[in-house]
Structure 1
Amino acid sequence: SNTAGANEPALWLISAETVDEIMNISGDNDVLLNRVLPDVLKERRMGGVPIGHWFAVVIFILVAYLLSWAIVSLISYMLRLIWRRSEDGKVASVIRAFELPFRLYLAVWIFVAVSQEAGISIIVRQRFSVITVTIGIVAILMLLWRITDVITVYTNDRMTKRKRVSAISIIMFLRRTSKVALVVIGIIAVLGALGVDVTAGLAALGIGGIALALGAQKTMENFVGSVTLIADQPIRVGDYCKIGEIKGTVESIGMRSTRLRTSARTIVTIPNGEFSSSKIENYAHRDRFLFAPVFYFRMETTPDQLRFLLVELRALLYAHPKILDTPIVRFTGITENSYKVEITAYIEAPSLDPSQEIQEDVLLHIMDIVAKSGTDFA
């Protein structure tokens, strides 16, 4: 009966006889598990639950894992029979990465479904719910961990084949960062599943992350710069380039900085943040090399000698197999003590050294033509 006053919350009093009747009401005998358990396992109790329920949970765990193992093994076997590419190393590594996490997650679902159908006591299921949730979280994190390894190995192989050694350090750093993030997320998720209040911890992590980002601003700038260099590839190791006012050969592209070997054989270290924002002129990947010498001939040179020089120089450049397009040879001016002749042409060569060899050959032929003309350089 309700014993509360008119303006008070309801306060119900229940008699002892009613409480006894409620305690005697039980639907346990209607569930499947209680119908098959012997009386001795139903009568003896632990934690207010028949001890047979605890034994059944242990058996269900073993059965769920064995069943999930059999299902996953059967799927893997069918994949090998149906899909020929599943034997390939890369595809096989992906399949292996999924096997154990999928097996654990499937075992959890089988255990939950079987324990509900069998009628395991809600008290027992509540005790094991934390474990099942934790195993589910661990299975997902394990899958992400393994996928990270597979992607890292695949990307490393590709970068090695392309001889992009500098990219490997970036990939390994991202791999380690990803795994640290997975561990942190996993700890937070497991603590949350165990009932631990992680709000204060998340707030502390957020504040710590902001402080770390402010303190490591330059480091992060250099890291972003290195990622930009790897992604855009304006330079590679071994390229001869000009960065701002510095010329040199790229010796290494690291996480924080890039090193250049100058013509004076000194090493110049440039932070990647500064490097990626600078003007970069790469000489290594030119498809042709400019050949633009300017010659000055003495004032005693006659017009006929100049005409001979212009004709012979054009004939030399037109006939040369490594001179591209149409070279230009022009008598461009008269100075105080010489006549000025300019040449503009392009040399076809794969790199700087072969182009200099061709240029040397052309210049020697030009000297022969000048000697034959009867005049000389100023």
Structure 2
Amino acid sequence: MSIANKPLTPTYSLLLFLLVLVNLTASALSAQAQLLPSDTSDSQEVLAPQWAEDSLGRRTPRGTVDGFIKAVAAEDYSKAAHYLNIEKKPRGAKQDGAILAQALQRLLDQRGNIMPYSWISNETSGLAGDNLGPNLDRVGTATYQGETFDLFVEKTEGPEGEPIWQFSSETIQRVPLEPEKVEDLPLTDRLLPTYLKENKWGGVPIGHWLAMVMLAALAYLIAWCITALIMFITRSLWRKAGEEHVTGILKAFALPTRLYLTIWILVASSREAGISIIVRQQFSELNIIILLVALLLLLWRLVDFITRFSEKRLTRRGNSAGISIVLFLRRSAKIAIVVFGIIAILSTFGFDVTTGLAALGIGGIALALGAQKTVENFVGSVTLIADQPIRVGDFCKVGDTVGTVEQIGMRSTRIRTNDRTIVTIPNGEFSSLKIENYTHRDRFWFHPVLGLRYETTPGQIRSILAELKALLLAHPKVSPDPARVRFVELGADSLKLEFFAYVLAKDYNEFLEIQEELILSIMDVIEEAGSGFAFPSQTLYLTRDKGIEKAQTQEAENTELNRSEEDAR
């Protein structure tokens, strides 16, 4: 099933969003820069003039090279001469431009090499940053009389000042005008029978096309033998070559390396054999594509090997959440490889993919906005796998939920509570909650607080404290540091004794067993000391009220009456 036929899921939406995020960011920054105000008083934007299209396609270095190759393929050397800057002809040369064009073709056929078209600039200004100046571009190499030199195209001006790229006068100066002797001719021309040289296709003898195909097959066979020999030597001399992870890496590199060696051998042998530059230039783009395929194939195989190896290890550990993450990353990486390969191949063929990427980015943002929760949950699951605060089988408390983790998925985590119910928490929310994991405790805290009756005397308390501390220190499962018992408080209804110790237990069940044993022993100590545990209680005091004396009441009333009469007088 092809990627184009797959349903558009939130996972694919996320992937598309990630792929175009960088491109969109650059576009946004560029747009923002254009919106910023500029100081027109200090500088003026200079607009490049819009020149009419050149009928020969010489506005760019790539157009010049492509036009020259097509002209010589059609054996139209008068037209090919227009791609040469022949203002300065070679010394003593009386030939016209057509002869020079034919001589340049002969040099390229026998000892020359032209760069693939995708490597040659398709801008009127040429290739920037090549340290050759604004009017000069390198397009290939050639060898004559044992000396190798570069082939250049240079920018000249037409009648109206328009840019025209031509093979530089310096390059034309170094082109040999006389054909080489028969014994010095390339191997292909010397071995081909006459009828394969006389019959042409695309301006080239048919024998050159057949020789190129035979060289490609021979190059692949030689590359296969070289890689097989390297693999055999590696396995024989390196002991670890038989291990699973090393074998997987070697297999991942085998086929891509074979393809790379095939192209390298084909390019070198076709040039040495003197295959026509027209044929070699037709194969140059194919060579670049095969190299890209070799690189993508290597990345694809490495992703397959790494993820499968990780998946096996996670399966042995029972980490189902990690397996889910690995499978998702494998699918995402493979889709990214395919998208990158398509973009690179389209760019090699000369297609402008910038507009397509911008449109893809807008659609990716729209889809990503609709899958915000999916993205949030995925990031949460990655956080859980990376930090590993919990694992499957851990007993923990997440927020208000207490239970055992049963599954950590791509979207959510499932917890089996003590009531045997399943609580599903989205990973985005799960990663932001407070998580308390009880499974990873190395020891358990023993911290009861006991209340003794108030009738217990200080002497009894001292005896009880000594006995209880000795009880803790004598137990083999109680850590001695610390292991203390203290009289801490005169409570409202009891005398408080506080325990502080750690129990060395492997799980919670063992801790409960040891705690039970300790509590029973504490009860025995308190009972033997003649004391007991206090109960929450209140003391009620009852008494009879005698009321107010009548004589005192009468005397107070008389006193108040006499004071009122004196005030009236």
| TM-score w.r.t. length of structure 2 | 0.60
Residue 306 of structure 2: aligned partner: 151
CA contact (8 A) 1:257 1:272 kept: yes
2:329, 2:350 → 1: CA distance? 32
CA contact (8 A) 1:314 1:327 kept: yes
CA contact (8 A) 1:305 1:373 kept: yes
Distance 1:22 1:320, change over 3 A: closer
Name the amino acid aligned to 1:41: L
Deviation at 1:34, TM superposition (A): 1.0
CA contact (8 A) 1:318 1:326 kept: no
1:230, 1:141 → 2: CA distance? 28
Give the 5 Å matches for 1:202-281: 202-281=357-436
1:370 aligns with 2:526: yes
1:77 aligns with 2:229: no
Name the amino acid aligned to 2:454: M
Deviation at 1:94, TM superposition (A): 0.7
Residue 124 of structure 1: aligned partner: 279
Residue 138 of structure 1: aligned partner: 293
Q: Identify the match of residue 109 of structure 1 among 264, 273, 280.
A: 264
CA contact (8 A) 2:482 2:500 kept: no
CA contact (8 A) 2:414 2:422 kept: yes
Q: Identify the match of residue 500 of structure 2 among 344, 355, 361.
A: 344
Give the 5 Å matches for 1:319-358: 319-324=474-479, 325-358=481-514
Deviation at 1:164, TM superposition (A): 2.9
Distance 1:342 1:75, change over 3 A: same
1:50 aligns with 2:197: no
Residue 9 of structure 1: aligned partner: none
1:202, 1:162 → 2: CA distance? 41
Distance 1:20 1:290, change over 3 A: closer
Name the amino acid aligned to 1:283: Y
Q: Identify the match of residue 195 of structure 2 among 40, 46, 50.
A: 40
Distance 1:127 1:302, change over 3 A: same
Report which of the two structures shows the higher radius of gyration computed on alpha carbons. 2
1:252, 1:109 → 2: CA distance? 51
Residue 5 of structure 1: aligned partner: none
1:277, 1:294 → 2: CA distance? 34
1:107, 1:367 → 2: CA distance? 87
CA contact (8 A) 1:291 1:345 kept: yes
Name the amino acid aligned to 1:366: I
1:312, 1:340 → 2: CA distance? 16
Deviation at 1:277, TM superposition (A): 2.2
**RCO (CA 8 Å, sep 6+): is it higher in 1 or 2?**
2
Q: Identify the match of residue 335 of structure 2 among 180, 183, 198.
A: 180
SS of the residue 1:277 aligns to: coil
Residue 6 of structure 1: aligned partner: none
2:461, 2:97 → 1: CA distance? 126
Greater shift in the superposed pair: 182-191 or 19-28: 19-28
Q: Identify the match of residue 195 of structure 1 among 309, 331, 350.
A: 350
Name the amino acid aligned to 1:93: G
Deviation at 1:199, TM superposition (A): 2.5
CA contact (8 A) 1:138 1:186 kept: yes
1:221, 1:290 → 2: CA distance? 37
Name the amino acid aligned to 2:428: G
Deviation at 1:176, TM superposition (A): 0.8
Residue 170 of structure 1: aligned partner: 325
Greater shift in the superposed pair: 317-326 or 257-266: 257-266
Deviation at 1:150, TM superposition (A): 1.4
1:151, 1:42 → 2: CA distance? 52
Distance 1:239 1:316, change over 3 A: same
The count of corresponding residues between Structure 1 and Structure 2 is 364
SS of the residue 1:278 aligns to: coil
Greater shift in the superposed pair: 149-158 or 167-176: 149-158
Which deviations, in whole Å up to 9, do the C-alpha atoms of 1:96-144 show, x marking residues without a partner?
Answer: 1100111011101111111111121222222222222221111110000
SS of the residue 1:284 aligns to: coil
SS of the residue 1:34 aligns to: helix
Deviation at 1:207, TM superposition (A): 1.9
Distance 1:333 1:65, change over 3 A: same
1:66, 1:346 → 2: CA distance? 72
CA contact (8 A) 1:294 1:341 kept: yes
Deviation at 1:166, TM superposition (A): 1.8
Name the amino acid aligned to 2:260: Y
Name the amino acid aligned to 2:473: Y
1:151, 1:209 → 2: CA distance? 28
Runs of 5+ consecutive residues of structure 2 not aligned to the other structure: 1-77, 80-94, 110-181, 535-569
SS of the residue 2:420 aligns to: coil
CA contact (8 A) 1:285 1:351 kept: no
Name the amino acid aligned to 1:182: I
2:396, 2:482 → 1: CA distance? 28
Structural RMSD (CA): 2.3
Residue 284 of structure 1: aligned partner: 439
Deviation at 1:183, TM superposition (A): 0.9
Structure 1 stretches of at least 4 aligned residues deviating more than 4 Å after TM superposition: 17-26
Identity in percent: 57
2:489, 2:203 → 1: CA distance? 111
Name the amino acid aligned to 1:51: I
1:19, 1:345 → 2: CA distance? 102
SS of the residue 2:423 aligns to: strand
Which deviations, in whole Å up to 9, do the C-alpha atoms of 1:136-186 show, x marking residues without a partner?
Answer: 111110000011111112222333344433211111111110001101111
Which deviations, in whole Å up to 9, do the C-alpha atoms of 1:186-235 show, x marking residues without a partner?
Answer: 11222222333322222222222322332222222221221111111111
Residue 310 of structure 1: aligned partner: 465
Residue 245 of structure 2: aligned partner: 90
